[in-house]
Chain A
Amino acid sequence: MTMNILPPNSSAIKTRFAVKFIQAMKRLSKRRGMGDRYKRYRATRAAACVSMASAVGPEWAWSRAVLRKIKRRRLLRQFRVSRKRRLIERTTNPRQNLGFGQEEDLRGLVPGGKGMDYCSLLSETAHYITCLQAQVQVMADILHRSSP
């Protein structure tokens, strides 16, 4: 609750994200080009998400979930091990569930949303939205600096 009250310090997060993202992009471009544009796109997208999550820090559940997912993917790619999906049976509070499946949708959207109760899901969503906005701004900024 205390974390939710303060809006995230946008400029600090933006600079941290920008630095990390640009470093990641550098590394990507230096890699022996995969040639496949789709793979590169996925790598760029992953780099964006990872740099955002690491700029945010481990105090938020969604950033931890993003980092976990990326790490797992890398391990999977190396070792080709199928991982067991941890199924969490959640009984949604009938009051909150308005019958349109919105809560599940939200849980699907926010990384790490499946393992949270509704209250923290909402606060994580709020923080996630602000970080996404910051991310979009920084990436658009980078793009428009580099293109002309």
Chain B
Amino acid sequence: MEKEGNASNIFSASSDLNCRIFRPNWENSVDQNDPFESALSSMVSSPTASHTNNNGENIVLRELIGRLGSICNSGEISPFNNNSANTSCYSTPLNSPPKLNLMRERGNNHFLSLPTFSADPAFAERAARFSCFANRNLAGLNELPPKLDPTKIPPPSVQENWESIRAPEKNFMASRSSTPDNAADSRENSTVSEQIPIPENGANPRKRKSAPKGKGKDTTVTNVSASENSESSGKRSKSEEEKANQKASKDNSKLPEPPKDYIHVRARRGQATDAHSLAERVRREKISERMKVLQDLVPGCNKVTGKAVMLDEIINYVQSLQRQVEFLSMKLTTVNPRMDFNMEALMSKDMFQSRASLYPSDGYPFQSPCGNEAPFPPNHGRTQGPQMENFGDAASQVSSFWEDDLHSIVQMGFGQGQMQNFQGILPTSQMKVEL
């Protein structure tokens, strides 16, 4: 069993390397000491048990690589925890505890880690050899078609967990990233690949789970590997389908090459990791994102926190805007008979956007129309915007004020006759509206 001998040699070498590399980093890392130690010790002990089993060995090899990657990265990256604000695997969570940021950074750096990982070039070489070895070995085991190129196509078990990865670096990273998934509960994180087709439907038809989240370590590892290998062909065909349906899914990951079709979500520590709760969390994050956008839109909502109050504010604002539109259209109907001859003038004025405003509170200096008629439509779009907004703010404020107090219309100089008309029309229109 030459392969086994090679594997054991390489494995022992890597385990030595593990000890050399991990120890200094363990002192540095904050939270992950215990779980990683336990995981590593279990892993170091496990190869003796699974020596005879090729599958287990390959899994263990990949686990090792994953451990190396993760712990090396965490050791290097732990000082730089809060640098990158946006995490790559998932949509921006608004209120994530700082502890989880640490893990997310670690998780992210799985994918960004190639430069840091290759800081130790000899180790990188060995690890690369590992991945190729693992691929080739699995290829032999699963009797894959000979066209399987280990550098191009990841091994099936890896592929199941991370469909999108194609490049060689990604292959390497995939093997590293999948191994933590294969290990059981010792990892706090678990990756789930979700496919969220656009337009976003409620159901996510094809979800991939990583290793089952059982408590047993060795047995689950081997079981998982066996099941994954058996399902590999089926899932690979599915994945090819999915890649054929290449929809432009939103790209949450910051991988150098975009993952295809999947929204990669990382479960947080202490939270349920089944598909439903993850989908629920993604949905909640989307909703909170949009609530933030709305908060910026609606004036005076910055101090307000909480969804209920925000929604109330939004509803009130939309209602007030709609009422303003109705009010303005009402005024326009009364003004309309006089507008006939003004239409062309109005349109041309809109084009040129004479900056003169009727409100002294506007704050804009009066500009002569001739000065503005020179710049023709190419400029009007740009110049129209901000000044109209300023004018509009004043106008909207005043009009909302009018709605509150009808008598103030007199002060604005619209004349008694019109005011009476307004008073007659306004209550009826409002009654109609509120129906």
Chain A residues in contact with chain B, CB under 8 A?
Answer: 1-2, 4, 10-12, 14-15, 18-19, 22, 25-26, 28-30, 33, 37-38, 40-41, 43-45, 47-49, 95-96, 98, 100, 102-103, 105-106, 109-110, 117-120, 122-123, 125-126, 128-130, 132-133, 135-148
Chain A residues whose C-beta falls within 8 Å of the C-beta of B294 in the assembled complex = 122, 125-126, 129
Q: How long is the Cα–Cα vector from A35 to B378 in the complex, in angstroms?
A: 41
Can you list 14 residue pairs at the A/B interface with Cβ under 8 Å?
A1-B250, A11-B384, A22-B343, A22-B346, A33-B337, A96-B287, A98-B308, A110-B318, A129-B318, A133-B392, A136-B395, A140-B328, A146-B339, A146-B342
Chain A residues whose C-beta falls within 8 Å of the C-beta of B395 in the assembled complex = 136-137, 140-141, 144
Residue of B nearest to A102 (CB): B311
Q: Distance in Å from the Cβ of B407 to the closest Cβ of chain A?
A: 19
* Interface presence of B347 (CB below 8 A): yes
Q: Are B332 and A143 in contact (CB under 8 A)?
A: yes
Chain B residues whose C-beta falls within 8 Å of the C-beta of A119 in the assembled complex = 200, 283, 286-287, 290
Q: Are B388 and A109 in contact (CB under 8 A)?
A: no
Q: Distance in Å from the Cβ of A14 to the closest Cβ of chain B?
A: 6
Q: How long is the Cα–Cα vector from A138 to B399 in the complex, in angstroms?
A: 13
* Interface presence of B53 (CB below 8 A): no
Q: Distance in Å from the Cβ of B394 to the closest Cβ of chain A?
A: 9
Chain A residues whose C-beta falls within 8 Å of the C-beta of B291 in the assembled complex = 122
Q: Are B330 and A118 in contact (CB under 8 A)?
A: no
Chain B residues whose C-beta falls within 8 Å of the C-beta of A12 in the assembled complex = 381
Q: Are A98 and B347 in contact (CB under 8 A)?
A: no
Q: Are B311 and A136 in contact (CB under 8 A)?
A: no
* Interface presence of B350 (CB below 8 A): yes
Chain B residues whose C-beta falls within 8 Å of the C-beta of A45 in the assembled complex = 325-326, 329-330
Q: Distance in Å from the Cβ of B344 to the closest Cβ of chain A?
A: 9
Q: Are B321 and A136 in contact (CB under 8 A)?
A: yes
Chain A residues whose C-beta falls within 8 Å of the C-beta of B80 in the assembled complex = none
The 10 closest A-B pairs by CB, nearest first: A137-B392, A140-B395, A11-B385, A122-B290, A132-B321, A102-B311, A139-B328, A45-B329, A44-B329, A98-B308
Q: How long is the Cα–Cα vector from A33 to B380 in the complex, in angstroms?
A: 34
Q: How long is the Cα–Cα vector from A12 to B380 in the complex, in angstroms?
A: 10
Chain A residues whose C-beta falls within 8 Å of the C-beta of B321 in the assembled complex = 129, 132-133, 136
Chain A residues whose C-beta falls within 8 Å of the C-beta of B391 in the assembled complex = 137, 140-141
Chain B residues whose C-beta falls within 8 Å of the C-beta of A122 in the assembled complex = 287, 290-291, 293-294
Chain B residues whose C-beta falls within 8 Å of the C-beta of A123 in the assembled complex = 290, 293
C-beta contact mask, B304-344 vs A, less than 8 Å → 1, else 0?
00011001101101110110111011111111111110110
Q: Are B297 and A130 in contact (CB under 8 A)?
A: yes
Residue of A nearest to B291 (CB): A122
Q: Are B343 and A26 in contact (CB under 8 A)?
A: yes
Chain A residues whose C-beta falls within 8 Å of the C-beta of B346 in the assembled complex = 22, 142, 145-146
Chain A residues whose C-beta falls within 8 Å of the C-beta of B198 in the assembled complex = 1
One of B212-220, B222-230, B421-429 contacting the partner: B421-429
Q: Which of A29, A33, A118, A129 contacts B339 (CB 8 A)?
A: A29
A119-B283, A129-B317, A136-B325 known; A19 vs B308 contact (CB < 8 Å): no
Residue of B nearest to A30 (CB): B340
Q: Are B339 and A37 in contact (CB under 8 A)?
A: no
Chain A residues whose C-beta falls within 8 Å of the C-beta of B428 in the assembled complex = 38
Given contacts A18-B347, A28-B336, A44-B329, 12 further A-B contacts (CB under 8 A): A14-B384, A18-B350, A37-B334, A102-B311, A106-B318, A118-B287, A133-B321, A136-B396, A137-B395, A140-B395, A141-B392, A143-B332
Q: Are B338 and A137 in contact (CB under 8 A)?
A: no
Task: List residues of B (334-379) whose CB comes within 8 Å of A's CBs.
Answer: 334-340, 342-343, 346-347, 349-350, 357-359
**Candidate in B198, B200, B286, B340 with the most chain A CB atoms within 10 angstroms:** B286
Residue of A nearest to B91 (CB): A1
Q: Are B347 and A22 in contact (CB under 8 A)?
A: yes
Chain B residues whose C-beta falls within 8 Å of the C-beta of A125 in the assembled complex = 294, 314, 318
Chain A residues whose C-beta falls within 8 Å of the C-beta of B128 in the assembled complex = none
* Interface presence of B298 (CB below 8 A): yes
Q: How long is the Cα–Cα vector from A92 to B388 in the complex, in angstroms?
A: 39
